[in-house]
Every structure is written in C-alpha cells, then in structure tokens.
Amino acid sequence: MPKPGDNTTQEGERMSKAQRKQEAMARRGASRRFIVALVLGVLVLVGVLIAAVNVGGGGGQPGPASDPRLAALASEHAATLGDPGAKVHIVEFLDPACETCALFYPLVKSWMEEVPGQIRLSIRHLPFHEGVDYVVRILEASRNQDKYWETLETLLARQREWVSNHVVQPERVLPTLAGLGLDMEQLQADMNSAEVQQRMDKDFQDSKVLKVVATPEYFVNGRPLPSFGQQQLLDLVREELGKHY
C-alpha cells in the first residue's frame, strides 16, 4: 500500500526531473550563444587587423596610396637614372635654367658612379625661371627618343648660351642641341602632346604636396635636406648608403 507522502514525493521527483531538463536546455542554449559570440568576436578582430595592415601599407609603414607625400615621392612617371633596384633613391626637383642645378647635377652623378648600382636618381621638373616651360617641354619630349639624359646634360653644361639674366632665350635652345641626333620635327610635335603636359602637371602638383619652393630640392629616401648645401646632401646620401649597404 502506498505510504503517506508517496504522491508528494513522486510529484516532487517528476518536478525535479523537469527542472533538471530545463536547466540542461538552458545551459546548452547559453553555451551555443557563447560560441556564436566568440566566433563573431574573432571575425571582428581579424577584420580590424586586416584593415590596419591595409592602411599601414604593411610593416607599420604607410603606403603610397594612403600617404600623399610618399605618393608624390614615388616619381614613377619621372626620368630615372641608375639601377632600378638601388636602395638609395634621390628625387631632385630641378629647373633647367637654375645655375645651382647646373652645378649640383654633375656632383650627384659622380657620387652615383663611385657606388655603382646603389643609387638611383629621379628628376622632377619645376619651372621657376621665366620662359623655362619651353625647355621643360623639350626635355620631356626628348624621352620619346631615349635622349633625355643627353639633352639634360647638354642644356645644363651650356646653360649660359640659352639663358640671359635668368630669362630663357627660346630661339637659342634648339641650336644648343643640334649635335645630339634628335629628330627635331618629332621633338617639336611631342612637346605639345597630352602626355608631356600630364607629366608636367604631375611634377607641379607633387611639388605643392612636398612644399618645394626652390630648386634644386632633394629628397634622399624620402628625407629632405636639414639645410641646403653640397655637404649636407652628401652627408644624407652617405647616411642612407650606410643603412642599406
């Protein structure tokens, strides 16, 4: 026969089993929610890290796409002399009618010859002198005939023949280049091309980004001169060579 309290005990046991079942289901639900939250947290963290790498350009350094200054210094469109793999990159903003530019160019070239394959030089044109746009167009057009460096060096070496009182004398420029084997008809056609204009515009825009206000202006692996001078430039070049070679 059933004893007093048996029904209550059985009912309590049934309630206890139901409660345990509910608690187990609650724990499983909480566990699933925790796993979902954990996975979402990991995905968010990965996304943040990827974004940081993209913005930083890798290695903690800003990339050209995110840093206007680095993009301006890249000089990918510019005439460049030296080994493309050289670890020291000199970017020079040059006015072909600038007397100091004419004095410094052979110095930089001689330093490059002393350490073959270690320095490359990119020339950017910044026409400050009156009438020098015409000369810059000639220089840019000469690139289409693979005569840029010969043209630049001749113009700098014979600068006094076509510049008078800091003003370009256009009629004297082309005769100065007569011995270089340039196709003058092609040169004059190319001078007015859209490609030449785009390169000139790019140099001007980049000079504004880099706050270039005089020529020659140098950047060595992105570093400007602490103050202008031949020794200051040489010291900066030597410092960068010491870092990389």
Which has more confidence, 203 or 12?
A: 203
Q: Which residues have a Cβ under 8 Å from the Cβ of 5 and sit 6 or more positions away?
A: none
Do both 153 and 223 map to the same domain? yes
Angle value at C-alpha 205, between 96 and 111, nearest 5 degrees: 45
Tokens standing for residue 17: 């089993």
> What is the amino acid identity at position 102?
A
Length of the chain: 245
- List the CATH number of the domain containing 225: 3.40.30.10
Confidence (pLDDT) at 116: 97
Residue 92 has pLDDT above 60, yes or no: yes
Do both 57 and 39 map to the same domain? yes
Confidence (pLDDT) at 104: 98
pLDDT in tens, 17-35: 555 555 555 555 555 655 5
Confidence (pLDDT) at 59: 37
Q: What is the mean pLDDT of residues 152-178?
A: 97
Residue 151 contacts residue 187 (beta carbons within 8 Å): no
Do both 189 and 140 map to the same domain? yes
Write the CA distances from 155 to 26, 102, 161, integer angstroms.
86, 9, 9
* CA distance linking residue 72 with residue 206, whole number of Å: 5
Do both 108 and 211 map to the same domain? yes
Do both 56 and 90 map to the same domain? no
Residue 7 has pLDDT above 50, yes or no: no
Task: Please state the domain count of the chain.
Answer: 2
pLDDT in tens, 189-213: 999 999 999 999 999 999 999 999 9
Do both 54 and 118 map to the same domain? no
Three-state secondary structure string covering 216-230: CEEEECCEECCCCCH
Do both 164 and 220 map to the same domain? yes
Q: Which domain holds residue 2?
A: 1-61
**Alpha helix segments (H runs only) across 57-131:** 68-74, 99-114
The DSSP H or E segment spanning 89 is strand 88-94
What percentage of the chain reaches a pLDDT higher than 90?
73
Residue 63 has pLDDT above 80, yes or no: no
Do both 54 and 124 map to the same domain? no
